[in-house]
């Protein structure tokens, strides 16, 4: 019999190369501080260095891995560097990476319970445990009326919540017939852009998202929300949804959840809590106050892929009433019909999200929770908050600088007193050193620098160094101006 031809990697080669790749990743993490945090390539440079055609014959894996080192690494901004203080935390960890690898190795599709029961049941258990740890309402447990699901992103989570709210309001008519243009939603002017995007994608219309005024701390003003809802009702519109943000992207503002919740309850609005950036703080009892009022929420989202040592993507969404979500998103073609679904005994997560297919994301989360334990998670979250607090203290004590917003958790927004131009130049100069990467925002119309403390290996020395670089750059620029 002729030998069967195969181009697959043999198990022996997989073992060998697998070890090489793990070593590669371990070396990368160990040495990540050697690289400039913000990539220095010019647009097109990486693309120009790559082949333009697929090779006719497969290449040696060693060569492919070498190219990853030589051609890809220079084009990376090093998010796992302890000097990464930009945007928001997006941290990874050993157990998460290994859980991700295992999920890839298993290659299962968890769209239905029956397509891999463990994929669904681990996810349910992990989200129940996390709900306990975050002090979320009993209804969010799988044993209650709701439950949790892992989405790819907080953007998808808010889209699903919005669609559920839309259908709860229209009693599934919108799903069938389309939107009638009367449904409106609310968030603060500081809420994340994913809300506006979701309004467009859900067919509700971006213009039907009311951006409510904020107070001096950039948090939603409940009185303005109540007034807007009333005004919309007077116009014959249907207020259906509001989002309270716990930790805005720009400045980490905390919307007054209890007050917003009471308005939503009285007005019959679906309340979504976007805790994508800062919800992880509630793992620590002393920050559980963040969740005061969460009992009013119909849905709640936070991102382990931001600040809980779980590599992207992993965004947890809980709903208080799972039927509202699945009623809006469920669709069952013949080829997916199976006994377990028909018997109504199982959760089919395809009904809890936009895509049909789904990865075994719960595995990496399960690994993280078990490896760190409650103690480990709290330790690192507390440490980040403490370090951010120290930085805020140094800024307040320096007559040249000022805080631009309260720094309740792990993000510090600040500016050098004086012009926007000076602040822009400081930022450019410190990012140019390659040792740190910070980004900016605009608060009260003024350009501000933001320093987020949340990468897995960020320690006191890194925050101290960042502040030193900032202060030195400022001094140099002040001198050069005189």
Ligand X SMILES: Cc1ncc(COP(=O)(O)O)c(C=O)c1O
Contacts to ligand X by CB under 6 A: 88, 153-155, 192, 194, 245, 247-249, 274, 276-277, 303, 315
| Residues facing 449 on adjacent strands | 414, 440
Nearer to ligand X (CB atom), residue 254 or residue 471: 254
Helix (H), strand (E) at residue 139? none
- Determine if residue 376 is left, alpha or beta; phi over 0 gives left, psi from -120 to 50 gives alpha, anything else beta: alpha
Residue 278 sits at the vertex; the CA angle it makes with 402 and 461, to the nearest 5 degrees, is 55
- Measured from the CB atom, the residue of 137 and 247 that comes closer to ligand X is 247
- Residue placing its CB nearer to ligand X in the complex, 61 or 312: 312
Nearer to ligand X, 196 or 215 (CB): 196
Residue placing its CB nearer to ligand X in the complex, 254 or 426: 254
CB of 305 to ligand X, least distance (A): 7
Nearest approach, Cβ of residue 154 and ligand X (Å): 4
Question: Of 91 and 248, which has the nearer Cβ to ligand X?
Answer: 248
248 vs 311, beta carbon nearer ligand X: 248
Q: How far is the CB of 247 from ligand X (least distance, A)?
A: 6
Token duo for residue 270: 């679906």
Give yes or no for a contact between 212 and 225, defined as CB atoms under 8 angstroms apart. yes
Q: Which residues are 186's β-sheet partners?
A: 210, 242
To the nearest whole angstrom, how small is the minimum distance from the Cβ of residue 479 to ligand X? Answer: 36
| CB nearer to ligand X: pick between 88 and 360 | 88
- In SS3 terms, 59-128 reads as CCHHHHHHHHHHHHHHHCCCCCCCCECCCCCCCCCHHHHHHHHHHHHHCCCCCCHHHCHHHHHHHHHHHH
Cβ contact 133:374 at 8 Å: yes
Query: Least CB distance from residue 218 to ligand X, whole Å?
Result: 12
State the Cα–Cα distance between residues 342 and 248, nearest whole angstrom. 42
Please identify, using beta-carbon distances, which residue of 244 and 426 lies nearer to ligand X: 244
List residues bridging with 206 in a β-sheet: none
Residue 177 CB, shortest distance to ligand X, in Å, is 29
Q: How near is the Cβ of 192 to ligand X at its closest, in Å?
A: 3
Angle at alpha carbon of residue 127, lines to 122 and 133, rounded to 5°: 130
Q: How far is the CB of 273 from ligand X (least distance, A)?
A: 10
Query: Whose Cβ is closer to ligand X: residue 277's or residue 387's?
Result: 277
Residue 67 CB, nearest approach to ligand X (Å)? 29
Stretch (H or E) spanning 415: strand 411-416
Asked if 188 contacts 214 with a C-beta cutoff of 8 angstroms, the reply is: yes
Place of tokens 């993507």: 313
Contacts of 387 (CB under 8 A, 6+ apart): 410, 453, 458, 459, 460, 463
The CB density around residue 187, as the number of other CB atoms within 10 Å, is 27
120 or 251: CB nearest ligand X: 251
Q: Quick one: tokens of 320?
A: 């208080």
The number of beta carbons lying within 10 Å of the beta carbon of residue 231 is 12
In whole angstroms, how close is the CB of 101 to ligand X at the nearest point? Answer: 22
Cα distance from N-terminal residue to C-terminal residue, the chain: 87
Output the six-digit token pair for 444. Answer: 């009260």
Concatenated DSSP letters of 126-160: HHHHHHHHHT--GGGSTTTT-EEEEES-HHHHHHH
248 closest CA partner among 409, 390, 361 = 409
To the nearest whole angstrom, how small is the minimum distance from the Cβ of residue 48 to ligand X?
29
Task: Compare residues 67 and 215 and give the one whose CB is closer to ligand X.
Answer: 215
* 98 contacts 122 by C-beta, under 8 angstroms: no
Task: Check the CA dihedral 107-111-116-120 and report its sign.
Answer: positive
User: What is the CB neighbour count within 10 angstroms for residue 408?
Assistant: 20
Q: How far is the CB of 153 from ligand X (least distance, A)?
A: 3
């Amino acid at each position: 019999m002729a030998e069967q031809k195969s181009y697959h990697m043999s198990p022996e080669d997989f073992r060998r190369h697998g070890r090489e790749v793990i070593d590669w990743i371990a070396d990368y993490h160990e040495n990540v501080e050697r690289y400039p945090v913000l990539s220095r390539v010019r647009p097109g440079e990486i693309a120009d260095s790559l082949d333009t055609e697929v090779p006719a014959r497969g290449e040696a894996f060693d060569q492919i891995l070498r190219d990853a080192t030589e051609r890809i690494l220079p084009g990376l901004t090093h998010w796992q560097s302890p000097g990464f203080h930009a945007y928001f935390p997006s941290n990874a960890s050993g157990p998460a990476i290994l859980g991700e690898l295992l999920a890839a190795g298993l290659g299962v599709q968890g769209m239905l319970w029956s397509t891999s029961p463990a994929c669904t049941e681990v996810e349910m258990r992990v989200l129940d445990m996390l709900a306990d740890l975050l002090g979320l309402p009993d209804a969010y447990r799988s044993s209650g009326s709701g439950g949790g699901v892992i989405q790819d992103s907080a953007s998808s989570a808010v889209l699903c919540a919005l669609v559920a709210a839309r259908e709860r309001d229209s009693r599934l008519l919108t799903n069938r017939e389309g939107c009638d243009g009367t449904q409106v939603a609310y968030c603060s002017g500081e809420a994340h852009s994913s809300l506006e995007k979701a309004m467009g994608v859900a067919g509700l219309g971006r213009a039907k998202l009311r951006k409510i005024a904020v107070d001096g701390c950039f948090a939603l003003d409940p009185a303005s929300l109540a007034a807007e809802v009333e005004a919309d009702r007077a116009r014959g519109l249907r207020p259906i949804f509001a989002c309270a943000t716990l930790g805005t992207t720009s400045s980490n503002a905390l919307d007054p959840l209890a007050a917003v919740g009471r308005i939503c309850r009285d007005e019959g609005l679906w309340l979504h809590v976007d805790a994508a950036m800062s919800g992880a703080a509630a793992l620590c009892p002393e920050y559980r106050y963040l969740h005061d009022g969460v009992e009013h929420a119909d849905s709640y989202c936070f991102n382990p892929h931001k600040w809980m040592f779980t590599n992207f993507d992993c965004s947890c969404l809980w709903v208080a009433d799972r039927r509202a979500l699945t009623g809006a998103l469920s669709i069952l073609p013949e080829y997916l019909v199976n006994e377990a679904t028909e018997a109504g005994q199982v959760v089919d997560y395809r009904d809890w999200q936009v895509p049909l297919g789904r990865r075994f994301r719960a595995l990496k989360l399960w690994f993280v929770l078990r490896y760190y334990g409650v103690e480990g998670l709290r330790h690192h979250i507390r440490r980040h908050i403490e370090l951010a607090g120290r930085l805020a203290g140094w800024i307040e004590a320096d007559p040249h600088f000022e805080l631009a917003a309260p720094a309740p958790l792990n993000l510090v927004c600040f500016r050098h007193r004086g012009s926007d131009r000076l602040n822009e130049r400081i930022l450019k100069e410190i990012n140019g050193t390659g040792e740190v990467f910070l980004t900016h925002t605009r608060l009260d119309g003024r350009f501000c620098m933001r320093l987020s403390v949340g990468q897995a290996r960020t320690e006191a020395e890194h925050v101290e160094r960042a502040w030193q670089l900032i202060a030195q750059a400022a001094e140099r620029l002040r001198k050069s101006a005189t």
